[in-house]
Amino acid sequence: MVKSFSPVERPQFLRLHWGLALLLVLAACSPGRQTEQSLQPATPRAYLNQAQPRLPTIKLWLGTEELITETARSNQEIATGMMYRTEMEENEAMIFVFSRERQASFYMRNTRIPLSIAYLGSDGTILEIHDMTPLEETPVVASQNRVRYALEVRQGWFDRHGVREGMVVSSANGSLNQVFFGR
Protein backbone atom coordinates (compact mmCIF):
# COMPACT_ATOMS: atom_id res chain seq x y z
CA MET A 1 0.00 0.00 0.00
CA VAL A 2 1.35 3.43 -0.97
CA LYS A 3 0.76 6.31 1.41
CA SER A 4 -0.88 9.32 -0.12
CA PHE A 5 -0.09 12.71 1.43
CA SER A 6 -2.57 15.49 1.88
CA PRO A 7 -1.64 18.89 0.41
CA VAL A 8 -0.57 19.98 3.93
CA GLU A 9 1.53 16.87 4.70
CA ARG A 10 3.41 16.71 1.36
CA PRO A 11 5.60 19.86 1.72
CA GLN A 12 6.52 18.88 5.30
CA PHE A 13 7.50 15.37 4.18
CA LEU A 14 9.60 16.70 1.27
CA ARG A 15 11.40 19.25 3.48
CA LEU A 16 12.21 16.51 6.01
CA HIS A 17 13.28 14.07 3.27
CA TRP A 18 15.55 16.57 1.45
CA GLY A 19 16.90 17.91 4.73
CA LEU A 20 17.97 14.42 5.81
CA ALA A 21 19.47 13.71 2.40
CA LEU A 22 21.48 16.96 2.50
CA LEU A 23 22.68 16.20 6.02
CA LEU A 24 23.89 12.73 4.96
CA VAL A 25 25.71 14.12 1.92
CA LEU A 26 27.42 16.83 3.99
CA ALA A 27 28.45 14.33 6.65
CA ALA A 28 29.91 11.96 4.05
CA CYS A 29 31.87 14.74 2.31
CA SER A 30 33.11 16.53 5.41
CA PRO A 31 36.91 16.32 5.81
CA GLY A 32 36.62 16.56 9.59
CA ARG A 33 38.44 18.97 11.87
CA GLN A 34 41.95 17.96 10.82
CA THR A 35 43.83 20.57 8.78
CA GLU A 36 46.78 20.21 6.43
CA GLN A 37 48.89 22.05 8.99
CA SER A 38 48.63 19.16 11.42
CA LEU A 39 51.46 17.14 9.97
CA GLN A 40 51.45 14.34 12.47
CA PRO A 41 47.84 13.37 13.11
CA ALA A 42 46.75 10.59 15.46
CA THR A 43 48.90 7.47 15.30
CA PRO A 44 49.19 6.35 11.67
CA ARG A 45 47.13 3.24 10.97
CA ALA A 46 49.50 1.37 8.67
CA TYR A 47 52.53 1.54 10.98
CA LEU A 48 50.92 1.50 14.40
CA ASN A 49 53.85 -0.11 16.24
CA GLN A 50 56.66 -0.29 13.71
CA ALA A 51 58.81 1.84 11.43
CA GLN A 52 57.61 2.39 7.90
CA PRO A 53 59.69 0.75 5.17
CA ARG A 54 62.56 2.80 3.76
CA LEU A 55 61.15 5.43 1.40
CA PRO A 56 62.49 6.32 -2.06
CA THR A 57 65.71 8.35 -1.82
CA ILE A 58 67.22 11.33 -3.56
CA LYS A 59 70.64 12.97 -3.19
CA LEU A 60 70.38 16.48 -1.80
CA TRP A 61 73.15 19.07 -1.58
CA LEU A 62 73.76 21.80 0.99
CA GLY A 63 76.83 23.56 -0.34
CA THR A 64 79.38 20.75 -0.75
CA GLU A 65 77.60 18.45 1.71
CA GLU A 66 75.65 15.52 0.26
CA LEU A 67 72.69 13.85 1.99
CA ILE A 68 71.04 10.57 0.95
CA THR A 69 67.47 11.60 1.65
CA GLU A 70 64.28 9.59 1.96
CA THR A 71 61.27 11.43 0.51
CA ALA A 72 58.02 11.51 2.50
CA ARG A 73 55.24 12.82 0.28
CA SER A 74 51.95 11.13 1.18
CA ASN A 75 50.03 12.03 4.33
CA GLN A 76 50.81 8.57 5.75
CA GLU A 77 54.55 8.88 5.04
CA ILE A 78 54.66 12.38 6.53
CA ALA A 79 52.68 11.37 9.61
CA THR A 80 54.91 8.34 10.26
CA GLY A 81 58.25 9.98 9.46
CA MET A 82 61.09 8.57 11.56
CA MET A 83 58.84 6.89 14.14
CA TYR A 84 60.23 3.62 15.54
CA ARG A 85 63.48 3.93 13.59
CA THR A 86 66.51 2.85 15.62
CA GLU A 87 69.35 4.14 13.47
CA MET A 88 70.23 6.86 11.03
CA GLU A 89 73.63 7.30 9.40
CA GLU A 90 75.48 10.63 9.53
CA ASN A 91 74.68 11.63 5.94
CA GLU A 92 71.14 10.29 5.82
CA ALA A 93 68.04 12.46 6.02
CA MET A 94 64.31 12.55 5.42
CA ILE A 95 62.58 15.35 3.51
CA PHE A 96 58.89 16.01 3.93
CA VAL A 97 57.24 17.49 0.83
CA PHE A 98 54.03 19.49 1.34
CA SER A 99 51.48 20.26 -1.36
CA ARG A 100 51.50 23.96 -0.44
CA GLU A 101 53.28 26.42 1.84
CA ARG A 102 52.18 26.34 5.49
CA GLN A 103 53.24 26.95 9.07
CA ALA A 104 54.62 23.49 9.71
CA SER A 105 55.00 21.77 13.06
CA PHE A 106 56.64 18.48 13.97
CA TYR A 107 57.04 16.49 17.14
CA MET A 108 58.89 13.34 18.15
CA ARG A 109 56.17 10.83 19.07
CA ASN A 110 57.69 7.33 19.08
CA THR A 111 60.96 8.73 17.72
CA ARG A 112 64.06 7.79 19.73
CA ILE A 113 66.77 9.13 17.41
CA PRO A 114 67.75 12.73 18.33
CA LEU A 115 67.00 14.86 15.26
CA SER A 116 67.44 18.38 13.94
CA ILE A 117 64.87 19.78 11.54
CA ALA A 118 65.20 22.55 8.96
CA TYR A 119 62.08 24.24 7.65
CA LEU A 120 62.57 25.20 4.00
CA GLY A 121 60.80 27.65 1.71
CA SER A 122 59.53 26.81 -1.78
CA ASP A 123 62.89 27.66 -3.35
CA GLY A 124 64.75 25.32 -0.95
CA THR A 125 66.12 28.11 1.26
CA ILE A 126 66.57 27.11 4.90
CA LEU A 127 64.22 29.37 6.85
CA GLU A 128 64.96 28.03 10.34
CA ILE A 129 66.67 25.12 12.10
CA HIS A 130 65.58 23.43 15.35
CA ASP A 131 66.87 20.56 17.50
CA MET A 132 64.22 18.08 18.63
CA THR A 133 64.17 15.94 21.77
CA PRO A 134 63.49 12.20 21.42
CA LEU A 135 59.94 11.17 22.40
CA GLU A 136 58.91 14.81 23.02
CA GLU A 137 55.33 15.43 21.90
CA THR A 138 55.35 19.20 22.22
CA PRO A 139 55.29 20.47 18.62
CA VAL A 140 58.23 22.39 17.16
CA VAL A 141 56.28 25.04 15.27
CA ALA A 142 57.82 27.03 12.44
CA SER A 143 57.81 30.76 13.09
CA GLN A 144 56.79 31.37 9.47
CA ASN A 145 53.85 30.25 7.37
CA ARG A 146 55.79 29.73 4.14
CA VAL A 147 57.31 26.29 4.78
CA ARG A 148 57.14 23.97 1.75
CA TYR A 149 59.62 21.30 2.90
CA ALA A 150 61.00 20.00 6.20
CA LEU A 151 64.38 18.26 6.32
CA GLU A 152 65.29 15.98 9.25
CA VAL A 153 68.87 14.89 9.98
CA ARG A 154 70.77 13.49 12.97
CA GLN A 155 70.80 16.07 15.73
CA GLY A 156 73.66 18.53 15.32
CA TRP A 157 74.33 17.63 11.66
CA PHE A 158 73.65 21.17 10.46
CA ASP A 159 76.16 22.60 12.99
CA ARG A 160 78.78 19.91 12.31
CA HIS A 161 78.67 20.65 8.58
CA GLY A 162 78.44 24.44 8.74
CA VAL A 163 74.90 24.57 7.38
CA ARG A 164 73.01 27.73 8.34
CA GLU A 165 69.73 29.53 7.72
CA GLY A 166 69.71 31.18 4.30
CA MET A 167 71.55 28.32 2.57
CA VAL A 168 69.73 26.60 -0.31
CA VAL A 169 69.06 22.86 -0.53
CA SER A 170 69.28 21.51 -4.09
CA SER A 171 69.69 18.27 -6.00
CA ALA A 172 71.66 17.10 -9.02
CA ASN A 173 68.39 17.42 -10.96
CA GLY A 174 67.80 21.07 -10.04
CA SER A 175 65.83 22.92 -7.40
CA LEU A 176 63.46 21.16 -5.01
CA ASN A 177 60.49 22.61 -6.91
CA GLN A 178 61.85 21.17 -10.18
CA VAL A 179 62.42 17.76 -8.60
CA PHE A 180 59.15 17.45 -6.71
CA PHE A 181 56.73 19.59 -8.73
CA GLY A 182 58.31 19.84 -12.20
CA ARG A 183 58.65 23.63 -12.13
The residue extents of the domains of the chain are 1-30, 57-181
**pLDDT at position 23, please?**
39
* Position 1 confidence tier, pLDDT thresholds 50, 70, 90: very low
Residue 141 CA neighbour count, 13 Å, CB half: 8
Task: Render pLDDT for 47-86 as a digit per residue (tens, 0 to 9).
Answer: 568 899 999 999 999 999 999 999 999 999 999 999 999 9
Mean pLDDT, residues 125-134 taken together: 98
For residue 125, pLDDT beyond 80: yes
* Position 4 confidence tier, pLDDT thresholds 50, 70, 90: low
Cα–Cα distance measured from residue 140 to residue 111, given in angstroms and rounded to the nearest whole number = 14
**pLDDT at position 12, please?**
55
**pLDDT at position 169, please?**
98
- Architecture category of domain 57-181 in CATH: Sandwich (2.60)
Cα–Cα distance measured from residue 75 to residue 160, given in angstroms and rounded to the nearest whole number = 31
Taking the model in full, what pTM does it have? 0.75
Q: What is the mean pLDDT of the chain?
A: 82
* Position 8 confidence tier, pLDDT thresholds 50, 70, 90: low
Cα–Cα distance measured from residue 33 to residue 5, given in angstroms and rounded to the nearest whole number = 40
Mean pLDDT, residues 84-89 taken together: 95
**Strand 92-102 relative to strand 147-154: parallel, antiparallel, unpaired?**
antiparallel
C-alpha distances (whole Å) from 57 to each of 43, 86, 149 are 24, 18, 15
**pLDDT at position 172, please?**
87
Task: Render pLDDT for 21-56 as a digit per residue (tens, 0 to 9).
Answer: 433 333 343 333 333 333 444 444 555 688 999 999
- Burial label for 75, CB within 10 Å (0-12, 13-18, 19+), is middle
